[in-house]
Amino acid sequence: MNPKTRVVVIITFSSILSFCAFKYTDKWSDFKPYLPSICKTFNSSRLVENSYSNLDPQNQKSEKLSWLDWFLPSNKVELRTKTPWNAPILWEGTFNRTYLEEYYRNNPVTIGLTVFALGKYLDKYLEKFLASADKHFMPGHKVIYYVMVDDHSKLPYIEYGTSRFLKPRVVAKEARWQDVSMMRMKTLTDMLQDFIKDEVDYVFCMDVDMDFRAPYGVETLGELVAQAQAWFMNSPNTAFTYERRPESKAYIEMGQGDFYYHAAVFGGTPSRVLDLVRSCYAGIMEDKKNNIEAVWHDESHLNKYFLEHKPTLILSPEYCWDYKIHAEMEHVKLAWAMKDYAEVRDNV
């Protein structure tokens, strides 16, 4: 019922009630006690109507999306679905996919996906990663793949789908795999500052030695997105392999920490991801000056950053699963590739 019609109905109904009150009661005070419940009925119907209209994604155009609009934690009461700071932990079944897809159809976004494929990783993993991403990563939405390689001639040929764009970039390969892992933070900092921030609304940074298995969609979009490491999801923080030496900028004191985060996947808005990679790179370089290297390199610095800057959305292990844990995991969106590190790393 539109507002004008509602006003006419209320005035008409009030007039009838007033007439009945004077005609069939001795005085107005006999009828007055019934007015609150009548008014409540009108107000309730209006509130119900408004609550349903707010669930319509078409009414959300140009308005900021809140996880309260689409997150359904009560659907998975047997799982951990919220953080202590009330951020969602995403599992299959905890989000309204229809609502989200309709929202982003009305509010189109461009998503960036960065990946480094250097040396033997380029030969072994890149083609499968990109082919599976083209099928499952943000289906139906505009995606730009930022692919960093050390040999442009080895880029695999893939027929990308509609609204999929490849932007390759040649980067130098570090001598040690540890430095490849750490120095990507510098490359990402430069690229985000120079052009990525102007080309996309959200960006994900992923390792290449993985492949997509199922739709990895807009439910994963958020201001600052972290991936819970599958091996540590149900472990106490004392078991996390944080950097424990106070001399390192990645140091986390025993007993501190919320989750152990996987550096294979992180994302968010360009400004938030830029702040993350810039901070991690600064910590890595400070450690180098002090002749120390964090136990898990860039991942150690990433965990320190997320301890101090809480993610607004955490992806459950379904979004980055290792089948070495067990093969019965359901709803896997992205999986680690089975690999022999001696085969792909120059120094193990």
Q: Which residues are annotated as a binding site?
A: 121, 207-209, 241, 299, 322
Closest CA to 126 of 113, 134, 117: 117
Neighbours of 346 (CB within 10 A): 12
Any catalytic annotation for residue 247? Answer: no
Binding-site positions for Mn(2+): 207, 209
Print the SS3 string covering the chain: CCHHHHHHHHHHHHHHHHHHHHHHCCCHHHHHHHHHHHHHHHHHHHHHHHHHHHCCHHHHCCCCCCHHHHECHHHHCCCCCECCCCCEEECCCCECHHHHHHHHHHCCCEEEEEEEECCHHHHHHHHHHHHHHHHHECCCCEEEEEEEECCHHHCCCCCCCCCEEEEEEECCCCCCHHHHHHHHHHHHHHHHHHHHHHHCCEEEEECCCEEECCCECHHHCCCEEEEECHHHCCCCHHHCCCECCCCCCCECCCCCCCCCEEEEEEEECHHHHHHHHHHHHHHHHHHHHCCCCCCCCHHHHHHHHHHHCCCCEEECHHHCECCCCCCCCCCCCEEECCCCHHHHCCCC
CB 198 within 8 A of CB 84: no
Which residue among 299, 308, 328, 330 is the active-site one?
Answer: 299
Catalytic sites, residue numbers: 299
